[in-house]
Amino acid sequence: MSTATTARNVRNAKAGTTEAAWVRYTLIGVALTFMALFLVLPLAAVFAEALRKGFGAYFDALQEPDAWSAMRLTLLTAAIAVPLNLVFGVAAAWCIAKYEFRGKAFLTTLVDLPFSVSPVVAGLIYVLMFGAQGWFGPWLQAHDIKIIFAVPGIVLATVFVTFPFIARELIPLMQSQGNDEEQAAIVLGATGWQTFWYVTLPNIKWGLIYGVILCNARAMGEFGAVSVVSGHIRGQTNTLPLHVEILYNEYQSVAAFAVASLLAILALVTLFIKSVAEWLHTRELKAIAALSPERPSGDLA
Amino acid sequence: MTAASLSAPLHTPGGSARKRTALRVLPGFNLTLGYTVLYLSLIVLIPLSALVFKTFTLTWEQFWAAISGPRVVASYQLTFGASLLAAMVNVVFGLLVAWVLVRYNFPGKKWVDALVDLPFALPTAVAGISLTALLAGNGWIGQYLEPLGIQVAFKPAGIVIALIFIGLPFVVRTVQPVLEDAEKELEEAATCLGATRWQTFTRVIFPSIAPALLTGFAMAFARAIGEYGSVIFIAGNMPMVSEITPLIIIGKLEQYDYAGATAVALVMLVISFALLLVVNALQSWQRKRSGAAS
């Protein structure tokens, strides 16, 4: 077959699987307009409102002591919640993806459960457990331990709402990779930990990174669940999102949007890291696919 | 994993037993399963059971009164109606965005693709105040709607807008991979057999992405029902008019009506659990469909 015929055939086939140019441009136009209205505009509005009275007012708002303490609490909460869910996510993914056992589907559903529970309900259940009228309320009061309307309650509620993030990224990834490489490592005499560190972890690192940054973004930005258990004590139990709400309700619009802009920057950084990680991951997969079959893939590392 | 390594032990007699021992070569099953169940129980199951047990302290009449008051029923109608409407809008525009991202090329496509996840990454409270600022009477969009007599902020319409924002990535991210994996050969065959492009879309492409679309719809709907942060700023929160169910729970809590709050929360929990099962069923249907096709 000549090159010209091949080219014509390819063109014909393409014409059968795409639309006329005007349809393409209309669809792209409508989709981009929708994205601009619903995603870009709200993002731009945050920064525009924050800078409405200039950079001076913006930085003044960020230097408030209450804003600083909210920032510290938000960082602390994420620093506890993310590692806890990271360890859980890896453990859950290991037992769900690597083994067959009875009740596995049910366990997987339960791991997903916190995603579908309303954040307000997530906060409420901890109030029922540890609040003054809750199960452990009297005992906690007798021992002078505060969980609800204090930092531990905020951490617990955050752990709940970010519970499935890392497990959910890892389970399908580890399932698709199968057990062959780990079995080979064990047969060759590696211990369980060595197998995990040197074989499994390099394979799942991208999924782990997506999971951790999405978990972190939600942990720092959670509002509903934290608002129920926080008690809104300024300078003590206010996270950044709660601080935004207080300022907004006090009609301190510039200050509210200034603090909100920090969270918007966090969101943008999250999206950026996620995109870069995805891009590196795709490149790595392509490099593996391009290797000749005779060459052992171990050379890559 | 190659097909040979899987099928060889399965075809010998007693293959399943051999397969099980082969799988259990890996250590750590008891440790990881034990930790998973323990952590799951401490963080999720025991606290959720507190909700159920607290409800048992109510008599049936008290429970019914708490969940069927006129204000509560109005909030169910609003929450369900707004969530349903937002999820339907998301299906249409989510499919469009996924289609454009998978099938067409245009400058800045990578950035647009990354931006789809914004509602996952942007804290809901920030989305709430920002949408309110946009749609209020003096906002960038609100100032053009006001003269037309359209008021969005502090009205039920504002709730729908906030829920569309929150739900968009669910539909895009479930449809996108299915659309990427769709076999172009089928479309080529349809064209060769004389189908128009529209017929190919409705008869060949749409059926293959319908399960994913339905899954995305259910996920966006489930998320919308429980959503709180982005909605309360824009809703106006008028009893009977623009008060969502999660806000009813907060309101009861603030009046120290723990039993009433728990009763309404249990209703929401049952609904979200049912939706979770629906999403799971849809996903396994989708997997079966795509498995049968390849």
pLDDT digits (tens, 9 = 90+) for B209-263: 998 999 999 999 999 999 999 999 998 888 888 899 999 999 998 888 888 999 9
| A92 touches A114 (CB < 8 A) | no
Mean pLDDT taken over chain B: 86
As a whole number, mean pLDDT of residues B175-193 equals 87
Residue of A nearest to B45 (CA): A110
Q: How far apart are CA A39 and CA B113, in angstroms?
A: 12
Q: What is the pLDDT of residue B6?
A: 38
Rounded to 10°, the helix A240-249/A253-290 angle is 150
Distance in Å, alpha carbon of B43 to nearest chain A alpha carbon: 6
Q: What is the pLDDT of residue A288?
A: 82
Smallest Cβ–Cβ distance between B39 and the set A88, A118, A134 belongs to A88
Residue in A71, A82, A121 to test binding to B, most B beta-carbons within 10 Å: A121
Inter-CA distances, B162 with A264, B15, B85, B275, B292, Å: 16, 54, 12, 21, 38
Residue B40 has pLDDT above 50, yes or no: yes
Q: How far apart are CA A259 and CA A64, in angstroms?
A: 10
Question: Residue A77 is encoded by which pair of tokens?
Answer: 């909460």
Q: What is the pLDDT of residue B18?
A: 45
Q: What is the pLDDT of residue A26?
A: 93
Residue in A28, A130, A216 to test binding to B, most B beta-carbons within 10 Å: A28
Q: What is the pLDDT of residue A297?
A: 53
As a whole number, mean pLDDT of residues A261-280 equals 92
| B235 touches B248 (CB < 8 A) | no
Q: What is the pLDDT of residue B96?
A: 96
CB contact under 8 A, A241 and B125: yes
| Look-up of token digits 């009164």 | B65
Residue in A32, A71, A125 to test binding to B, most B beta-carbons within 10 Å: A125
When mean pLDDT is compared across A127-136, A153-162, B12-21, B71-80, the lowest value belongs to: B12-21
Residue B181 has pLDDT above 80, yes or no: yes
Given CB atoms, is A216 within the 8 Å cutoff of chain B?
A: no
Q: What is the pLDDT of residue B174?
A: 92
Q: What is the pLDDT of residue B294?
A: 44
Inter-CA distances, A90 with A77, A171, A207, A242, B244, Å: 20, 9, 11, 31, 36
Residue A208 has pLDDT above 60, yes or no: yes
CB contact under 8 A, B123 and A127: no
Smallest Cβ–Cβ distance between B134 and the set A31, A32, A41 belongs to A41
Q: What is the pLDDT of residue B43?
A: 94
| A206 touches A222 (CB < 8 A) | no
DSSP assigned state of A63: T
Q: What is the pLDDT of residue B289?
A: 74
Residue B37 has pLDDT above 50, yes or no: yes
Q: How far apart are CA B66 and CA B51, in angstroms?
A: 15
Inter-CA distances, A60 with A49, A65, A135, A294, B118, Å: 15, 10, 44, 63, 27
Q: What is the pLDDT of residue A7?
A: 61
Q: What is the pLDDT of residue B203?
A: 87
What pTM was computed for the model? 0.87
Q: How far apart are CA A299 and CA A280, in angstroms?
A: 18
Q: What is the pLDDT of residue B5?
A: 38
Contacts of A88 (CB under 8 A, 6+ apart): A163, A166, A167, B35, B36, B39, B40
Residue of A nearest to B133 (CA): A45
Residue of B nearest to A114 (CA): B44
Residue of A nearest to B189 (CA): A16
Q: How far apart are CA A294 and CA B5, in angstroms?
A: 18
Chain mean position to CA B40: 22
Residue of B nearest to A111 (CA): B40
Q: How far apart are CA B215 and CA B282, in angstroms?
A: 6
Residue A6 has pLDDT above 70, yes or no: no
Q: What is the pLDDT of residue B158?
A: 93
CB contact under 8 A, B226 and A120: yes
| Look-up of token digits 């397969």 | B19
Smallest Cβ–Cβ distance between B246 and the set A19, A182, A224 belongs to A224
When mean pLDDT is compared across A10-19, B46-55, B141-150, B275-284, the lowest value belongs to: A10-19
Q: How far apart are CA B71 and CA B69, in angstroms?
A: 6
What share of chain B has pLDDT > 70, as a percent?
A: 90
| A74 touches A220 (CB < 8 A) | yes
Q: What is the pLDDT of residue A157?
A: 95
As a whole number, mean pLDDT of residues B113-118 equals 93
Query: Is residue B183 left, alpha or beta, with left meaning phi > 0 and alpha meaning psi from -120 to 50?
Result: beta
Q: How far apart are CA B89 and CA B103, in angstroms?
A: 21
As a whole number, mean pLDDT of residues A252-277 equals 93
CB contact under 8 A, A127 and B47: no
Question: Residue B27 is encoded by which pair of tokens?
Answer: 């250590």
In chain B, residues with a C-beta closer than 8 Å to the C-beta of A39 are: 115-116, 118-119, 165, 168
Mean pLDDT taken over chain A: 88
Helices first, then strands: H and E counts in chain A: 16, 0
Given CB atoms, is A76 within the 8 Å cutoff of chain B?
A: no
Chain mean position to CA A222: 11
Distance in Å, alpha carbon of A84 to nearest chain B alpha carbon: 10
Question: Residue A270 is encoded by which pair of tokens?
Answer: 């999250």
Given CB atoms, is A207 within the 8 Å cutoff of chain B?
A: no
Q: How far apart are CA B146 and CA A34, in angstroms?
A: 21
CB contact under 8 A, A257 and B129: yes
| C-alpha triplet A168, B283, A118: angle, nearest 5° | 60
Q: What is the pLDDT of residue B272?
A: 87
Question: Residue A4 is encoded by which pair of tokens?
Answer: 């010209």
Q: What is the pLDDT of residue A209?
A: 92
Q: Is the pLDDT higher at A198 or at A7?
A: A198
Q: How far apart are CA A254 and CA A247, in angstroms?
A: 9
B11 pLDDT tier (thresholds 50, 70, 90): very low
Q: What is the pLDDT of residue B3?
A: 38
CB contact under 8 A, B126 and A31: no
B9 pLDDT tier (thresholds 50, 70, 90): very low
B19 pLDDT tier (thresholds 50, 70, 90): very low
How many Cβ atoms from other residues are within 10 Å of residue B227's Cβ? 29
As a whole number, mean pLDDT of residues B196-213 equals 88
How many Cβ atoms from other residues are within 10 Å of residue A254's Cβ? 18
A212 pLDDT tier (thresholds 50, 70, 90): very high
| Look-up of token digits 């609040």 | A131
